[in-house]
Amino acid sequence: MNIIRFVNEHSNSVLAAITDQNQVYSLPFKDFLELIEIAEQKNQTPLSIVKEVITDSVPMEEEVDELKLTTPIDAPEVWAAGVTYEKSKQARNYEATEGKLDATTFYDKVYDAKRPEIFLKSTSARTVGPDDIVYLRSDSTWQIPEPELGLVIDSKGKILGYTIGNDMSCRDIEGENPLYLPQAKIWKHSCSIGPSIRLTETVGDPYDFDIFCRIYRDNQLSVEGSASTRQLKRSLEELISYLVLDNDVFDGTVLLTGTCIVPPNEFTLEDGDMVEIEISQIGVLRNQVKTQSPKLLSAN
């Protein structure tokens, strides 16, 4: 069972459920967190609450592809973990050493360290959803998407569901100096999440998600790659434990768990590219890449 949010013809936000048979049912909750809250009040699972609602309901006439989806949750903050896959470690080393593949750097140390790398990626106002535009950063010449499994958690770190995240990154800026990480990760529309939240109780094994990334240029497939959460170096619980440690974490926070799909080193995103990130059981997160207009840049 997946939870989505869409904008109806009256510009109102509507929460809905998608069954595994691809039937869409409107839900009588203002947002995902209200569903969670009601489930807790009734001492039931969110899945059981949704099943109760849709049992006597008629599915919507519209197909999922006909709906104008938005972010499935207004995540107050989006955090991200880095260097959680070996492929990510290799890519970060390449950036930091100007292509010296056999060099050892601090990325090797954090990959093997007890403490993971965790950083603030985005806030609700900065995060976009399915079919929204992600922007390129104007002072970078080497930019890529980072396909990641996202954990939707509550204030105590409990996993409420799973979503998809695109952690847009500037490889040149991060490689120049690790202290530039915030600038390499955070700018206008540099993070997208969606298209749905897969309820936790419907996922048998979170280390069995298959991840795919496809980048189209001029309507032609330019880059593609695949991975699995089985390749994660760290456990999801481990990453969450360091995020919530001595920290104020808000209900509905999203934690991106790192990437294992990195485009070829000679590749950089360009204006007009289309990025598709697919994770089994969750769906496809699709975003077009755009250069910010001079008007937008002057307004920042």
Q: What is the pLDDT of residues 179-216, one digit of tens each?
A: 999 999 999 999 999 999 999 999 999 999 999 999 99
For residue 46, the tally of other CB atoms under 10 A from its CB is: 25
pLDDT classification of 300: cutoffs 50, 70, 90: low
pLDDT of residue 274 exceeding 70, the answer is yes
What is the total count of domains within the chain? 2
pLDDT of residue 299: 58
Q: Are residues 44 and 150 in the same domain?
A: no
My answer on whether 184 and 273 are in the same domain is yes
CA gap 109, 92 in Å, rounded: 12
Of 137, 102, 123, give the one whose Cα is nearest residue 269: 137
Do 162 and 203 meet the contact criterion of CB atoms below 8 Å apart? yes
CA atoms lying within 13 Å on the CB side of residue 39: 20
- Flag whether pLDDT at 91 surpasses 80: no
pLDDT at 96: 76
Residues 150 and 256 in one domain: yes
Share of the chain above pLDDT 70, in %: 94
- Reported residue count of the chain is 300
Contact 39, 49 (CB under 8 A): yes
Q: Model confidence at 41, in pLDDT bands (50, 70, 90)?
A: very high
Using alpha carbons only, what angle is made at residue 118 by residues 284 and 243, rounded to the nearest 5 degrees? 95
Domain match, 149 and 36 both: no
* Same domain, yes or no: 140 and 270: yes
Look at residue 105 in the predicted model and tell me its pLDDT: 75
Indicate the residue among 69, 86, 101 that finishes a domain: 69
Judge whether residue 296 has pLDDT over 70. no
> Are residues 53 and 17 part of one domain?
yes
Strand partners, 119: 80
| Mean pLDDT for all residues in the chain | 93
Looking at the fold, whether 45 and 120 belong to one and the same domain comes out as no
Domain co-membership, 112 together with 14: no
Q: Are residues 102 and 40 in the same domain?
A: no
Quick check: 263 and 91 in contact, CB under 8 A?
Answer: no
Mean pLDDT of the 107-127 span = 90
Q: Are residues 121 and 229 in the same domain?
A: yes
User: Which one of 37, 69, 101 terminates a domain?
Assistant: 69
Q: Same domain for 40 and 83?
A: no
The answer to whether 228 and 211 are in contact (CB under 8 A) is yes
Residues 116, 6: one domain? no
Radius of gyration of the chain (CA): 19
The pLDDT value given to residue 109: 77
11: Cα within 13 Å, side-chain hemisphere: 0
Look at residues 69, 95, 121 and tell me which one is the last residue of a structural domain. 69
Q: What is the CATH number of the domain that holds 128?
A: 3.90.850.10
Q: Quote the pLDDT of residue 89.
A: 65
pLDDT exceeds 80 at position 101: no
Domain that holds residue 216: 77-299
